[in-house]
Amino acid sequence: MKTVFDKEFKKFGHVVEGFDFTELLSTLEEKTPKPEAGVDYIPAVAVLEELPIFKDLQDRLFGGAPIEIGYCNGANTKMNCLEYHRGSEVCVAADDVIMLLAPLSEVTDGVIDSSKVEAFELPKGTGVLYYETSMHYAPSKKDGSYRTIIILPRTTNTELPDFTPVTFEDKLLRARNKWLIAHADAPEAKDGVFVGITGPNIDVTELS
């Protein structure tokens, strides 16, 4: 198991420095649920976006481009899917979690083998930015539940645009700015998400 502080993480993103996440994380813990089964994801949460750090993150970390601050809370041990966006994503952990990441460049015709996925421990209180070329999905945890802050370009993961698919990639779009590939064993595969992850469906409880 690697951590986000190891050199292997550099191809996927970097640890965010120069921001104090204390109030953001305390608000997350006080105002949002922590499911003991399944994962809840909300793209934008007013009580988080009203904090002073919102403007600082938008201006300095995203260069002034509009952002949203939401959360991904719950309990999850499996990879299940890989997604990507146009634009970087920031995850700030309120609990120790594990990120499962893969290079988008390893995808061919919507297919990627799970052997290309790498696991990184993200310690509580730490924020990371991963690049738009880094495929990811919900954070994982070996046991128990977690809370994480998720920061993305504004309107990401909201309602799917109304358009007629033309290219193969168009068929992977499952929400606004969200392209998704599933493993055959994932619940999302039963909901019609394109099955393109081969190999084992990684379970972090089996990682050392």
Give the whole-number percent of the chain exceeding pLDDT 70. 100
In 55-188 the beta strands, taken as DSSP E runs, fall at: 67-75, 81-84, 89-93, 97-103, 112-113, 118-122, 127-130, 134-135, 146-153, 173-175, 178-183
pLDDT for residue 163: 95
Could you read off the pLDDT of 76-123 as tens digits, one per residue?
999 999 999 999 999 999 999 999 999 999 999 999 999 999 999 999
Whether residue 1 has pLDDT greater than 90 = no
Q: Which amino acid is at 73?
A: N
Could you read off the pLDDT of 155-175 as tens digits, one per residue?
999 999 999 999 999 999 999
What's domain 2-78+86-154's superfamily in CATH?
Jelly Rolls (2.60.120.10)
Other Cβ atoms within 10 Å of 167 Cβ, number: 7
Other Cβ atoms within 10 Å of 23 Cβ, number: 12
Residues 6+ apart with CB under 8 A from 128: 4, 9, 13, 14, 15, 16, 90, 91, 92, 99, 122
Whether residue 148 has pLDDT greater than 90 = yes
Task: Select from 23, 1, 19 the least CA-distant residue to 99.
Answer: 1
d(CA 134, CA 203) in angstroms, rounded, equals: 19
Other Cβ atoms within 10 Å of 41 Cβ, number: 13
pTM of the full structure: 0.97
Could you read off the pLDDT of 169-196 as tens digits, one per residue?
999 999 999 999 999 999 999 999 999 9
Task: Select from 72, 86, 76, 13 the least CA-distant residue to 43.
Answer: 72
